C-alpha cells in the first residue's frame, strides 16, 4: 500500500465519520510500542495537530489500559472528562470540540494505531461509540495496513510533541 493509498483510507474514514456520528477534528495516531509513543500520521487540522508529532504516553494510565492494553474504545463526552485524560483541552475547545472517541485499530500484532474523533461537547453517546467501533471493526484490515504503511511515510518531527 502506498502512502497515497493510506491517506485515502484515512480520508474515507474521516468522510464516513463526518456523516455519523459527526466529527470536527479527526486524527490517526500510530502506536509505537517499542517507544511507547503515539505518532500522528493523518490529521484534519495540520496547523494545530501537525503530522509526525509524537506524544510520549503522558496521557492517563486509565486511557492506556483501556485503549492499548484492553483494545477497547474510549469516550469522553464532555470537557470535564477530556481534562482528566488529555492535557490539550484548551486547544481542543478552541476548535469547537469538547468530546472525544478513541478507537484502537488492531492487527495480529496488537494495536497498530488509534483513531481520534472529536466533536462538540455532549455530541457523542454510547450509540456513537458503538457506531464508530463497528465501522472500525468492518474496515480493520485496511486501516491496520494504512497505519503500518505510515511508518515509511511520516517521520517524527524531533522535539515536536502533541499538545
Percent of the chain with pLDDT over 70: 88
Task: Return d(Cα 75, Cα 67) in angstroms, integer.
Answer: 10
pLDDT at 163 exceeding the cut of 60: no
- pLDDT (tens digit, 9 = 90+) per residue, 9-19? 999 999 999 99
pLDDT at 50 exceeding the cut of 50: yes
Range 10-31 average pLDDT: 96
Task: Return d(Cα 86, Cα 60) in angstroms, integer.
Answer: 7
- pLDDT (tens digit, 9 = 90+) per residue, 148-157? 988 655 455 5
Range 46-66 average pLDDT: 83
Q: Are 54 and 36 in contact (CB under 8 A)?
A: no
CA-wise closest residue to 50 among 58, 40, 65: 40
pTM over 0.85: yes
Task: Return d(Cα 43, Cα 160) in angstroms, integer.
Answer: 15
pLDDT at 10: 97
Percent of the chain with pLDDT over 90: 72
- pLDDT (tens digit, 9 = 90+) per residue, 82-127? 998 888 899 999 999 999 999 999 998 899 999 999 999 999 999 9
**Domains, the chain, with CATH or none:** 3-153 (3.30.450.40)
Does a cis peptide bond (omega within 30 degrees of 0) precede residue 21?
yes
Amino acid at each position: 500500500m502506498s502512502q497515497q493509498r493510506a491517506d485515502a483510507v484515512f480520508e474515507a474514514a474521516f468522510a464516513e465519520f463526518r456523516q455519523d456520528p459527526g466529527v470536527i477534528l479527526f486524527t490517526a495516531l500510530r502506536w509505537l510500542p517499542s517507544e511507547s509513543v503515539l505518532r500522528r500520521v493523518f490529521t484534519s487540522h495540520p496547523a494545530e495537530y501537525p503530522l509526525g508529532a509524537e506524544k510520549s504516553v503522558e496521557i492517563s494510565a486509565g486511557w492506556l489500559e483501556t485503549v492499548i492494553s484492553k483494545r477497547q474504545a474510549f469516550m469522553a463526552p464532555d470537557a470535564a472528562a477530556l481534562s482528566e485524560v488529555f492535557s490539550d483541552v484548551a486547544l481542543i475547545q478552541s476548535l469547537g470540540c469538547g468530546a472525544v472517541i478513541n478507537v484502537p485499530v488492531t492487527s495480529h500484532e496488537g494495536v497498530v494505531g488509534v483513531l481520534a474523533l472529536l466533536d462538540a461537547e455532549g455530541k457523542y453517546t454510547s450509540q456513537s461509540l458503538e457506531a464508530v467501533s463497528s465501522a472500525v471493526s468492518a474496515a480493520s484490515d485496511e486501516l491496520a495496513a494504512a497505519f503500518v504503511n505510515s511508518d515509511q511515510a511520516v517521520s517524527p518531527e524531533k522535539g515536536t510533541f502533541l499538545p
